[in-house]
Chain A
Amino acid sequence: MERKSDRMTIVGFLIVPVISLILFSYYPLFKLFQISFTNWNGMSTSMEYVGFKNYLDIFSQRELFEVFANNMAYVIMAVIQQFAGLFLAILLSSNIKMKNTFRAILFMPYIINGVAVAFMFNYMYDFTNSPINMVLNLMGLKPISFFSMSYASNFSLAFISFWKYVGFTMVIYLAALQSISHEIYEAARVDGASFFQTIRLITFPNIKKVFQISLLLSFNGALQVYFEPFLITKGGPNGRTATFITKTLNLAFDYGKYGKAAAMGVVLLIIIILITLIQKMFLKEGGA
């Protein structure tokens, strides 16, 4: 009797979250694989299976590698962001004043609306009368074209997410640094270790795990980036700033090539899972 009512309670408490989990997390995953083997155009009620055609198409086009090259700019910035965030966190864990004020201000961009941030930087980067180019002009320098045919355009875009997220990274490392026991540092200090020695010999080994996880997350973010190019450059000029995801969205929503877009989704999914697994292996090795 007792057990039966318990079971009812459990089912009652779990049913809605579980249904929503199945419907919005697992079903789309299954569906994604299914669509990737069809030539569905997003409209018609029927879809034809075309085997691996979509996958073969993707890998036979140079475009895929070009968008990946663009994504690399974000990956590089993501790595820089890890070190910058860690460095700021170290500074904010040292014996300086106004730590909380610095922390609060540096974290602020994280909570500002992303669309607002993207357009704000679009203004900062504007060719003709942007604040940056006006200063360059005053100094007698040539204006910079932030969104040109050069690969550097991707860095202009990637810097926007750096600006927005470096404070977040910093806060994560601050928490990680605070979890290291004080006694170790005290001991090092007694032994006369310098600031940089302390970082190298105590801090780095102790936050290795957080560092790897944080790096992995920002890697994944960099591979899935779409926001800034989608809003500002629309992937242009001429595909120069297209990323994997903007390309995918483009294929589906502008060209009705859902099958191919889904196949691209699967490819990215597999790449990210592979990176995660490789990282997990490294983590195990490092932890042992």
Chain B
Amino acid sequence: MKKLHTADENSTFIINSIQGRLSAYMILVGGVFLVFAPLFLLLIVSLKGKTEYLMNGVYSWPENFLNLENYITAFIEGRFAIGFWNTFLLILFSVPLALFLGTMLAYALGRFNFKLKGFLFAAFLIPTFIPGMTVTIATFTLIKALGLYNTMFAGIILYIGTDIMQIYIFLQFINQIPIALDESAQIDGASKFRIYWSIILPQLKPAIATTFILKVLAIYNDFFTPYIYMPKVRTAATSLNSFAGDRMADWPLMSSAIIFIAIPTILVYVFLQKFIIGGVTDGAVK
């Protein structure tokens, strides 16, 4: 007799047949394999010495699982310490600023009525339809004209730009805060900035946290901005590229360098996985 699977609240689709369920699992496990296989191969290659790799190739366990020689060489020769440090500074200066500007903008748009409001909304929305890569040449000349080329300010100033996604997410939260809170604070003599600071901002915490983590990931992973606008300021991503230069054939060494750059965001993801996926969907679906 066929066992009918009943719907639980998480499953919209019901696959009844055993073959169907089996193929579903096989496809998903196949996907998991495709995600992990290259990463796993990199990991075992990174633990092999040069001669060991030449002798045994990819598919063997490393002779010594604690052989960190490649990692040390990559870290020193790739000057990753400077790269990580500069990336850290970029994040430190641009993310809080971006969050400030974004929340203030959302507060002004969400709590005040003024003539140009609709116009401003449109003004912030339109650039999302301008494909970023197409205007690179012009942005480059602007950065040069401002004297920011090859300085960290180029990155900071480009990263603090507010995007419409952020504004929407913040606005949704602001609209849920009862306006009576603002009014009673105002009666108590609080300034607008005071209201923003002690009423609005604390209520925005969840949205700020999500935006914070997504911004950090985006800046850490960004290659284009530092490469084009500040090639002399090494970041994590660009230092991997310059390290690769003439070492491309030395795969054990390259593997460890790749893992070095990949590991920080993977670690963050392991701990904040639900949070990150939630943030990405919130931003994209709305």
Residues of A within 8 A of B (CB): 5-7, 9-10, 12-14, 16-18, 20-21, 23-32, 35, 42, 87-88, 90-96, 99-100, 102-117, 119-124, 126, 129-131, 134, 163, 167-168, 171-172, 174-180, 182, 185-186, 189, 195, 198-199, 210, 220, 223-224, 226-227, 231, 245, 248-249, 252-253, 258, 261-262, 265-266, 268-269, 272-273, 276
The residues of A that contact B39 with a CB separation of less than 8 Å are 120
Q: Can you list 17 pairs linking A and B with CB atoms under 8 Å apart?
A: A9-B112, A14-B108, A24-B139, A24-B142, A24-B158, A26-B127, A29-B130, A35-B138, A94-B12, A106-B35, A113-B221, A115-B261, A123-B45, A124-B41, A175-B281, A189-B7, A269-B131
**Is the Cβ of A27 less than 8 Å from the Cβ of B142?**
yes
Q: How far is the CB of B234 from chain A (nearest CB, A)?
A: 12
One of B9, B57, B161 near A25 (C-beta < 8 A): B161
One of A18, A95, A123, A269 near B120 (C-beta < 8 A): A18
Chain B residue at smallest Cβ distance from A214 = B284
The residues of A that contact B193 with a CB separation of less than 8 Å are 9, 12
Q: How far is the CB of A245 from chain B (nearest CB, A)?
A: 5
One of B10, B104, B281 near A13 (C-beta < 8 A): B104
**Is the Cβ of A28 less than 8 Å from the Cβ of B139?**
yes
Asked if B24 is at the interface of the complex by the 8 Å CB criterion, the answer is yes
| A175, B32: Cα distance in complex, Å | 20
One of B16, B142, B241, B274 near A23 (C-beta < 8 A): B142
**Is the Cβ of B28 less than 8 Å from the Cβ of A88?**
yes
19 additional A-B pairs beyond A95-B8, A224-B131, beta carbons within 8 Å, are: A5-B192, A6-B112, A21-B124, A21-B161, A24-B142, A93-B13, A95-B5, A95-B21, A110-B280, A114-B237, A115-B240, A120-B42, A121-B38, A126-B251, A178-B12, A220-B131, A224-B132, A227-B224, A261-B137
The B226-257 residues at the A interface (CB cut-off 8 A) are 228, 236-238, 240-241, 244, 248, 251, 254-255
**Is the Cβ of B134 less than 8 Å from the Cβ of A172?**
no
The B14-73 residues at the A interface (CB cut-off 8 A) are 14-16, 20-21, 24-25, 27-28, 31-32, 34-36, 38-39, 41-42, 45, 57-59
